[in-house]
């Protein structure tokens, strides 16, 4: 007589993967929108993020980065950076400043440097400054002297949240995709009203 051995199968319940919420504060910083976009795994979700947080300033960033007819009149590479509004009053390059601030974010285990607090301190945002970006591109304000143009750019950077300032520097050199997972194809699907080319 044979006896069947009873085998017990251990079942594991698959934990649902945490859903990434698409909610940001009202009037989010550009870096907040792009960081949220980076968390999305599908093209459809990335398009959804861009549609949800559509703003002319975001479109301007993408046009400056992806439109080959937009030619920057600013010198390529690192940008000198110092912020008079910072408590530490640091100077150096923007990359150094961002590394310091990101280290602070990690130390305090936060994903924000205080969007609302920065605005209360009188800082600005890409949402407020985007209408000045034409000054930095060929055909926008060609009569502007190079030194004045570079000074204006640095003044805008110094008023921005450091991660928004970094975006502006990446876009200046058409390097947004070095940090953010966005393509011209995704932008075109989210914003079909953007007409590419013929801007210089």
The 10 Å CB-count burial string (b at 16+, else e) for 97-126 is bbeebeeeeeeeeeebbebeebeeeebbbb
In 10 A of CB 90, how many CB atoms? 13
* Domain edges within the chain: 30-190
Task: Pick 64 or 106 by higher pLDDT.
Answer: 64
CA distances, 131 to each of 51, 72, 116, 156, 182 (Å): 21, 15, 22, 12, 22
Distance, in Å, from the CA atom of 85 to the CA atom of 62, rounded to the nearest integer, reads 28
Name the 3-class secondary structure at 186.
helix
Q: Are 163 and 31 in contact (CB under 8 A)?
A: yes
**φ and ψ at residue 6, rounded to 5 degrees:** -85, 125
For residue 154, what are its two tokens?
Answer: 């640095």
pLDDT (tens digit per residue) in 124-168: 889 999 999 999 999 999 899 999 999 999 888 888 888 898 999
pTM: 0.75
pLDDT band for 5, please (50, 70, 90 cuts): low
pLDDT for res 26: 85
């Amino acid at each position: 007589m044979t006896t069947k051995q009873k085998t017990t199968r251990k079942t594991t319940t698959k934990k649902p993967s945490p859903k990434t919420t698409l909610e940001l504060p009202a009037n989010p910083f550009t870096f907040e929108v792009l960081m949220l976009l980076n968390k999305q795994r599908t093209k459809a979700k990335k398009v959804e993020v861009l549609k949800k947080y559509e703003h002319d300033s975001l479109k301007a960033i993408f046009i400056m980065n992806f439109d080959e007819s937009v030619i920057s009149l600013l010198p390529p590479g690192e940008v000198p950076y110092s912020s008079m509004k910072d408590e530490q009053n640091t100077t150096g390059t923007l990359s150094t400043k961002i590394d310091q601030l990101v280290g602070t974010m990690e130390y305090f285990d936060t994903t924000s440097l205080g969007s609302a607090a920065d605005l209360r301190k009188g800082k600005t945002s890409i949402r407020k400054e985007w209408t000045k970006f034409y000054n930095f591109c060929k055909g926008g304000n060609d009569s502007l002297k190079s030194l004045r143009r570079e000074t204006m750019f640095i003044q805008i950077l110094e008023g921005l949240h450091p991660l928004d300032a970094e975006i502006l520097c990446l876009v200046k050199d058409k390097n947004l995709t070095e940090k953010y997972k966005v393509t011209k194809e995704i932008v075109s699907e989210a914003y079909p009203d953007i007409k590419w080319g013929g801007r210089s």
